[in-house]
């Protein structure tokens, strides 16, 4: 494996690191909350993208938002799950990235999010970039630098 240089790291794009849309759990706006909760639980995720029928990103839905929606004064009103649509509960103000955004832009963006959706110029969902993918590259770079610098120190002794 070749050593990862700083220039290579900073030249990486979101497209180099993202998970393609076909591999990402998501729901549609008109799905009932029941379906969204099932997808969330089965996938093991706490938040997933919400898409319209043409696969444009419309927002995000979370387990917390769904549970807050069915939380009544004295009990969970689970019957609401089949009546309320995802579009009524989803978060619509979500940060996004483009495939050609650079590594440093992505690094800054994932600080406060476990993942960010990647869109094309027309708003079509292309995939996600996870904080894990960014951290893996940073970890690789830092470990290689430490190893490289300690090897230099040993030769200067």
Tens digit of each residue's pLDDT (9 = 90 or more) over 123-156: 999 999 999 999 999 998 888 887 766 656 666 6
Assign residue 118 the CATH number of its domain.
Answer: 3.10.580.10
Share the mean pLDDT of the chain. 91
Instruction: List C-alpha distances in Å: 114 to 5, 77, 128, 130.
Output: 25, 29, 10, 6
Decide if pLDDT at 74 tops 80: yes
Nearest to 129 by CA among 111, 140, 114: 114
Mean pLDDT across the stretch 62-83? 94
Give a yes or no: residue 139 inside a domain: yes
Structural domains counted in the chain: 1
Cα distance between residue 111 and residue 17, in whole Å:
16
Cα distance between residue 80 and residue 104, in whole Å:
43
Note the pLDDT of residue 139: 92
Q: Are 118 and 57 in contact (CB under 8 A)?
A: no
Decide if pLDDT at 76 tops 70: yes
Whole-model pTM: value is 0.84
| Domain carrying residue 149 | 6-155
Give a yes or no: residue 1 inside a domain: no
């Amino acid at each position: 494996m070749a050593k990862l240089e700083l220039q290579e790291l900073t030249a990486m794009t979101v497209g180099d690191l993202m998970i393609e849309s076909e591999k990402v759990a998501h729901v549609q706006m008109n799905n009932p909350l029941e379906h969204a909760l099932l997808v969330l639980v089965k996938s093991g995720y706490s938040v997933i993208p919400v898409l319209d029928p043409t696969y444009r990103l419309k927002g995000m839905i979370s387990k917390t938002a769904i549970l807050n929606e069915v939380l009544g004064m004295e009990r969970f009103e689970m019957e609401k799950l089949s009546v309320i649509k995802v579009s009524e509960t989803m978060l619509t103000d979500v940060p996004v990235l483009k495939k050609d955004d650079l590594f440093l832009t992505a690094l800054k963006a994932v600080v406060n999010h476990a993942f960010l959706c990647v869109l094309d110029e027309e708003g079509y969902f292309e995939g996600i970039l996870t904080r894990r993918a960014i951290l893996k590259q940073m970890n690789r770079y830092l470990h290689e630098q430490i190893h490289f610098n300690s090897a230099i120190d040993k030769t200067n002794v």
